[in-house]
Chains A and B, each alone.
Chain A
Amino acid sequence: MNATQKKLDHSIFDADIHGQAMNFQYLKRIMAWVKPHALLVCTSILLVVLASLLAVFLPVIITRVAIDTIILDTPDALMPDFGMNSVNEWLMHLTGFEGIVTVCILYGVTTIACHGLYHLHRVTFAKTVLFALRDMRLDLFSHMEHRPSSFYDKVAVGRVMTRITNDVQALFELLMGVGMLIGEFVPFFLALALMLTIDVELTGYLLLSIPIFGVITYFFRLATRKVYRQIRNTVSQLNQNLQENLSGMQVVQLSNREERNLQVYSDINEKNSKQEVHAIQLETGYGAFMDNMVNLALAVIIWVGGSAVLSDAITLGSVILFTQFIDMFIRPIRVLGMQYNILFRAMASAERIFQALDWHEQIREPKTPVRLPGRVKGKLEFKNLTFGYDDNQPVLKDVSFNVKPGEKLAIVGPTGSGKSTLIRLLGRFYDFSDDRIFLDGHDLNSIHSTEVRRRIGVVMQDFHIFSGSILENIVLGNQSITRAAAISAAKSVNAHEFIEALPDGYDTELVERGQNLSQGQRQLLAFARVLASDPEILILDEATASIDTETEQLIQEALEHLMQGRTSILIAHRLQTIETADRVLVLKDGKVKELGTHQELMALRGVYYTLTQLQFQDVSS
């Protein structure tokens, strides 16, 4: 263990992060995943610029070309037409059709081109974002997959999970929002540029609306932030209460607690309703104001612009153009207001994601790992091993013993004696000092952890079943194990019979945590899993759960088969298991108390003798 790892503070994973401010550092880091798609992003932006330009032409074609020029025949030179009249004349010349026909064609083609380009823009942008975040999520998952047990001991799985799922999803919303803003702001700047060329003063008045909008949004945010937090709180209380009540329903009913619990739930429910009403009051007010920004701007244009026309400062045509562009001008500001919440939520998510990605805690791997032969003999040596999860509290103290190749060693001892820790060290789940544990004479720390785990098969007490078929649970992703090999492993550990009895045999889908299997069946399945992977050394932490006598017999038989030809270390809870072992090691308070065969230890009349005596005494009394 090195000193830097000692200082890790895992509690940061539990902290509530709200995302208080814009952090460009995060955006910059996110760009690392976007970069491979840079070409796509540029294309997308080019497309939206083109589409927006076309969008500006559409109203011009109707008003200037169709109505003023063709129908009324009063082309007003004061009104800009962006050359659309010339285009139409060219079209008339080219096709020989009447003006009204060509203007229809012009309008139709421009509409299709404009919205086609918008479509391509949205699709390319979405594709970029989706694939960038897909890669980010995979990197994040892979990163978390390689964090050691010492990490997962301290950080709840849920905390890691939400980072991989929901937080990446929040970034998705953020980036799509950015895309939407680009789509909105290109027309904004086009409109702004046009308006500035027409009249600076009037544009200046309209630009004043932005700070007003900013202030109002700021206060709205201030007011809603608190309410939203309260709502989040009561909603999660409601869900927790409901979930707990449903899970413990029998206890609730047996304790006649129904009325009282409904009251508690109803109280939270009422609090939630009041907050929701408060929130919609704020939202509705703000929303109505934002919706009417355009109309208020219209009033300004009529008043200020109209006066300017009268004093000949600008032309009437310009004022009319202003009224047409005002929507392009105001819309992005409204959209920005809507994106505000997403932005802050995404900042918090980014912080959580990078927190996880920056967490580099890992098992120490050798620089030049020892290459083990195809098959190791399975000799294990422990030399003065001392280990503790915290520096000042050693769990194992000066432990030394040897296990010969093919030997079966049972370890017994009270809870907290260090048995499980010993197993975890053998599986290289934690770092420990060099030259303490040796496999076939090699220091365990000089072998790569993956290699160690391939050679040492561990059957844990609370072993995990993944949802998927029985077969998948035996093979567990190891493609070198064929179906036939898996079935043969299952047969060897007495699991074949119950598996065949299941509706779809080996293809029966198991639900999470294997709730459709009994304790004993799960144990047998775990045996099959480890046997299929064929490790040279077997470590077994025997399950303590009570299993009926018949299954117990099957398990004992399977165990004997499993141990055949393998160096085995058994953490035993049952006397019968101990009796199958060659030697017994008694561990207490992290120290080796006794070591020898069952007979030797009985003759010793020490700790082991007392243990077994108590066992027999109890049942026969």
Chain B
Amino acid sequence: MKVLLRLTPYIKQHIWAFSFGLFGLLGARIFEALIPLYVKMGIDNIMAAQSANETGDILSPESIAIAQATLVYPALAICACVVAQMVVTIISRILIRRIGIYAAFDIRNQLYGHMQRQGPAFFAKFSIGDLMARAINDVSLIRQFLAGTTRLTSVLVFTAVVGLGFMFSLSAQLALIVILPLPVISVVAWIYSKHIYKQSHIVQEGFSRLSTFVQENLNGIRTVQAMAQEQDEVRRFGMVNDEFAQHNQTLFITNSALSAWMPILAATATLIILGYGSHLVTTGEITLGTFAAFFSYLALLLWPVREAGAMVTQWQRGASGTQRVFEVLDYEPEIRDYASEDSANPEFPELTGKVSVRHLYYQYVDKNKYALEDINFDVEPGETIAILGRVGSGKSTLLRLFVRLIDPVKGDILLDGHPINGFPLDFLRHQVCLVLQDPFLFADSLGDNIAYDRPDRDVSDIWESADAAALRETIENFPEGLQTILGERGVTLSGGQKQRTALARGLVRMTPLLILDDCFSAVDTETEEHILSGLKSVRQNLTTLLVSHRVSTARHADRIIVLDEGKIVEMGSHQALLESNGFYADLEKAQRVKGGMLDQIESDEAKI
């Protein structure tokens, strides 16, 4: 509950609208409370005219008109109250509900900005689905809390205070007895609403189990059919489906029982007024008018009493939503942008691409072994270095350290002699480009995907990089060319095409240091050959690091670093390493015998 205090800044921004809105809502209740008075006045006026009627036989048309005129006032007064109540309610509600919308707007933007500054530890802790749920469901819980719960709570409290006030002022004796059953009602309502909340949670989970089942089943429909398991899957779905219906039924029974208990419990209060109240009337302790008034004040009081439980749940829901949102917002980014945080933002000149790695160590949080251990090497500007090693040898980890997707445990990476965490983060990532193994493309045009870092790039630059990534033909085959939209609503590229697009995205930036993380795995060998041999002329005097587990890729580099179990085991040129007859030579032999794939045969063969 305390976490709700963190929402105060969002209300404070609109404190005038908020107070005005609440005040207005209370005012509207007064107008509403006046309506029964005028109804009573109308009936009294009719009665008065009628009793006049009893003396004579029939009223003259004139006196009917006079009597009718007495009804105009109460009728118009009711209309006036209705209009006033409506206008005030509408304005106040809009004022308050808008605050919820504005707060949701602010929080969404904050979450988005905050998540963009996070590193892998954050994304390991929160899955994308979880983050989506927080940004969508929990933000809307906060919105509901600010715009609905606060408003309803104050109206409820106000109504209860007014009802109690009137009751006690009329007859403290009767009031004290009448309110006896009220706490019971609140408690029953509260217990039930807790139950309902829990039960609806179970129903929600049941629904998502149902959805997951259907989704998985349909995604694997070919497997299901190939294994002739349709009937069995239908049977299994029947179980999930039935369970969902059962849970739903329980929820409805609980819900309905609450709706039944409330008026029955409220009837006890009515019975008290009826029994004890009539006794007080006969003893003359209260007047008949007071007796009648108690019924209407009880009606006034019952509503907040009944809703009290639901209110508690609403506050709890608001609190849990707030807590889940702030859990994300409070997460400190693991990669600190020290240089930008210092107010004196130093200017750095364009880097040359000279790299020095000094005693570099990295260890994953959940592992007890170094992923990288005492890595040392230097790269001169313009050099192309291949990093080779088996799966899990630490290649990708090493590359991620260069762009500070992760920070080392010990040791330094120096660019032009400066340790990289001395650079502002955006400067570093302007100068060093990493192309990831998994080519993530956005549901946007091909051109915008290539020029992702700066959408205003020259088209000629885009084509140049497309050429270098052997992508020109692919693009030209689409009628829309660079404007071709990718993704679900557009064109689906093959794995190789995706990788080449990601490669073009990296090449177009012409950064002093380019790092390629095994981004030829789905590209056929011949095309890879073509790209790699072109790379040297495209990136003249610029440094390139590339990772692979194919020897055929590595041999294009000036030098090769062989990593194994997080350590550098060999370093040198292709020829030198072959001659030294070590790890690299073994790998080369092994891959020559069996590792090769026929994929490249297919593309070559197509030309035969």
Q: What residues of chain A have their CB less than 8 Å away from a CB belonging to chain B? A: 62, 66-67, 70-72, 100-101, 103-104, 107-108, 111-112, 115-116, 118-119, 122-123, 126-127, 130-131, 133-134, 137-138, 141-142, 144-146, 148-149, 152, 156-157, 160-161, 164-165, 169, 238-240, 242-258, 260-262, 265-266, 269-270, 272-273, 276-277, 280-281, 284-285, 288-289, 291-292, 295-296, 298-300, 302-303, 306-307, 309-312, 316, 319-320, 323, 412-415, 427, 429, 449-450, 453-454, 457-458, 460, 463-467, 476-479, 512, 518, 529, 533, 544-546, 548-549, 552, 556, 572-576, 578, 588, 607, 610-612, 614-615, 618-620
Contacts and interface: CB of A to CB of B under 8 A. Distances in A.
A161 B211 contact: yes
A164 B214 contact: yes
A169 B603 contact: no
Interface residues of B, number: 149
Contacts of B533: none
A265 B112 contact: yes
Contacts of A316: 43, 46-47, 50
Interface string B277-321: 010010000001001100100000000000000000000000000
Contacts of A240: 443
Given A142-B234, A458-B226, 15 more contacts: A100-B274, A126-B249, A138-B237, A141-B234, A165-B214, A254-B434, A255-B429, A256-B426, A295-B81, A306-B42, A310-B68, A316-B43, A477-B232, A575-B596, A611-B598
29 contacts: A70-B278, A115-B261, A115-B264, A126-B252, A130-B249, A134-B245, A146-B230, A161-B218, A165-B210, A165-B214, A247-B128, A249-B116, A249-B118, A250-B440, A251-B440, A254-B433, A255-B452, A256-B426, A277-B101, A295-B85, A296-B78, A306-B75, A310-B50, A310-B59, A449-B228, A574-B594, A576-B594, A578-B598, A619-B591
A299 B218 contact: no
Contacts of A299: 75-76, 78-79, 82
Given A115-B260, A306-B71, A611 B391 contact: no
B82 A62 contact: no
Contacts of B32: 295
A607 B598 CA distance: 13
Contacts of A262: 109, 112-113, 116
B20 interface: no
A296 B549 CA distance: 80
Interface stretch (B130-138, B155-163, B470-478): B130-138
B278 A575 contact: no
B603 A414 contact: yes
A280 B214 contact: no
A459 to B, nearest CB: 9
Interface stretch (B7-15, B91-99, B191-199, B355-363): B91-99
B89 A249 contact: no
A149 B74 contact: no
B211 A145 contact: no
Given A247-B128, A280-B97, A610-B608, A476 B225 contact: no
B234 A138 contact: yes
Given A258-B116, A262-B113, A149 B260 contact: no
A239 B136 contact: yes
A574 B86 CA distance: 77
A134 B244 contact: yes
Interface string B227-246: 11110111111100110110
B218 A144 contact: yes
A306 B267 contact: no
Given A169-B207, A548-B391, A285 B605 contact: no
B101 A280 contact: yes
Nearest to A266: B109
Contact of B217 (A145, A277, A454, A548): A145
Contacts of B221: 145, 149, 152, 157
A229 to B, nearest CB: 18
Interface secondary structure of B, over-half rule: helix
Contacts of B236: 477
Interface secondary structure of A, over-half rule: helix
A548 B225 contact: no
Contacts of A146: 230
Contacts of A164: 214
Contact of B596 (A152, A281, A477, A574): A574
**A-B residue pairs, 6 tightest by C-beta:** A464-B220, A477-B232, A302-B42, A119-B260, A414-B602, A255-B453
B297 to A, nearest CB: 15
A145 B223 CA distance: 11
B123 A311 contact: no
B234 to A, nearest CB: 5
Interface in B415-450: 426, 429-430, 433-434, 436, 440-443
A157 B488 CA distance: 12
Contact of B39 (A273, A323, A544, A618): A323
- By CB atoms of chain A within 10 A, which of B35, B226, B433, B525 has the most? B226
Nearest to A323: B39
B376 interface: no
Contact of B222 (A115, A130, A138, A464): A464
B588 to A, nearest CB: 8
B519 to A, nearest CB: 12
A413 B218 CA distance: 30
Contacts of A549: 390, 590-591, 594-595
A280 B94 contact: yes
A255 B403 CA distance: 11
Contacts of B218: 144, 152, 157, 160-161
- By CB atoms of chain A within 10 A, which of B38, B135, B221 has the most? B221
Contacts of B391: 518, 548
Nearest to B390: A548
B82 A460 contact: no
B414 interface: no
A256 B433 CA distance: 10
Contacts of B594: 549, 552, 556, 574-576
B534 interface: no
A101 B276 CA distance: 11
- By CB atoms of chain B within 10 A, which of A107, A252, A292, A512 has the most? A292
A311 B597 contact: no
Contacts of A108: 267, 271
B390 A269 contact: no
Contacts of A450: 228, 230
B570 to A, nearest CB: 17
Contacts of A466: 216-217, 220
Interface in B60-109: 64, 67-68, 71-72, 74-76, 78-79, 81-82, 85-86, 89-90, 93-94, 97-98, 101-102, 104-105, 108-109
Contacts of B49: 309-310
B154 interface: no
B569 interface: no
Contacts of B227: 453, 457, 476, 478, 529, 533
Given A130-B245, A303-B71, A574 B281 contact: no
Given A248-B442, A284-B94, A256 B430 contact: yes
Contact of B128 (A169, A243, A272, A413): A243
A266 B110 CA distance: 10
Contact of B270 (A107, A141, A280): A107
B101 A429 contact: no
A154 B594 CA distance: 38
Contact of B275 (A100, A138, A252, A477): A100
Given A242-B135, A295-B78, A107 B267 contact: yes
B214 A161 contact: yes
Given A464-B220, A477-B236, A243 B241 contact: no
Contacts of A127: 249, 252
Nearest to A134: B245
A385 to B, nearest CB: 20
B46 to A, nearest CB: 5
